[in-house]
């Protein structure tokens, strides 16, 4: 789970974190996230824990020392920095969902999406587009596709829904495009979608 260390100004963000946390617990899906106790990170972790679900946190030592680390998790990994955090989260997770967030959330989303595109990561990724939070970003991605920088096949790697249940269902069935499908001899020339 990628999401903000703040809750944002719109109460729908918090509501979506609660609903997604409830769904994860109901479906027996554990949560792997950044290990924080604050913001949407804390909200979703608390919700999953209160519903009896498993929550694994991966937090850098620096953030743990600032006392933002969650103290009631099923399991916590304290790592040396942000890169080891992302690597371990990627290894532990079966899929990735991003709720609203800031720079860190976007960085994680794009690094993971690039990993999926290049088949370094063979796990689906999606955006929970709460209240249209990601609409501007999605327009940018469509623009980049139209300008020949993102192939249509890759634009669809990043799954999107405003409904937490629908997004989880989509991620459970989405087939990851294989590298050979777009880089092999049958692939369109570079610069073509």
Q: Specify whether the CB–CB gap between 16 and 130 falls below 8 A.
A: yes
As a whole number, the mean pLDDT across the chain is 93
Mean pLDDT of 33-58: 97
At 188, is the pLDDT very low, low, confident or very high (cuts 50, 70, 90)? low
Domains present along the chain, CATH in parentheses: 11-183 (3.40.50.450)
pLDDT of 170: 98
Mean pLDDT of 19-33: 98
Model pLDDT for residues 52-64, shown as the tens digit of each residue: 999 999 999 999 9
Model pLDDT for residues 138-171, shown as the tens digit of each residue: 999 999 999 999 988 899 999 999 999 999 999 9
| Cα–Cα distance, 157 to 124 (Å, whole number) | 7
Model pLDDT for residues 89-117, shown as the tens digit of each residue: 999 999 999 999 999 999 999 999 999 99
189 pLDDT higher than 70 = no
| Cα–Cα distance, 34 to 121 (Å, whole number) | 18
Relative to beta strand 158-161, strand 125-128 is parallel
185 pLDDT higher than 60 = no
Model pLDDT for residues 115-143, shown as the tens digit of each residue: 999 999 999 999 999 999 999 999 999 99
Q: Specify whether the CB–CB gap between 54 and 74 falls below 8 A.
A: yes
Count of C-beta atoms within a 10 Å radius of residue 144 = 13
The whole model's pTM is what? 0.90
184 pLDDT higher than 70 = no
Q: Percent of the chain beyond pLDDT 70?
A: 93
């Amino acid at each position: 789970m990628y999401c903000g260390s703040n809750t944002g100004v719109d109460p729908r963000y918090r509501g979506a974190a609660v609903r997604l946390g409830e769904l994860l617990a109901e479906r027996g899906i554990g949560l792997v996230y950044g290990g924080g106790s604050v913001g949407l990170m804390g909200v979703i972790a608390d919700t999953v824990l209160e519903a009896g679900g498993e929550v694994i946190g991966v937090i850098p030592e620096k953030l743990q020392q600032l006392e933002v680390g969650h103290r009631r998790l099923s399991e916590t990994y304290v790592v040396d920095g942000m890169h080891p955090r992302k690597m371990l989260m990627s290894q532990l997770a079966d899929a990735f969902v991003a709720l609203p967030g800031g720079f860190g959330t976007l960085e994680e989303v794009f690094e993971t999406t690039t990993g999926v595109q290049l088949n370094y990561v063979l796990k689906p990724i999606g955006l929970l587009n709460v209240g249209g939070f990601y609409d501007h970003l999605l327009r940018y991605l469509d623009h980049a596709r139209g300008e020949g920088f993102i192939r249509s096949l890759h634009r669809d790697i990043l799954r999107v829904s405003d409904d937490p249940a629908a997004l989880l269902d989509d991620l459970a069935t989405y087939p990851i495009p294989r590298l050979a499908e777009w880089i092999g001899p049958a692939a369109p020339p570079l610069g073509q979608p």
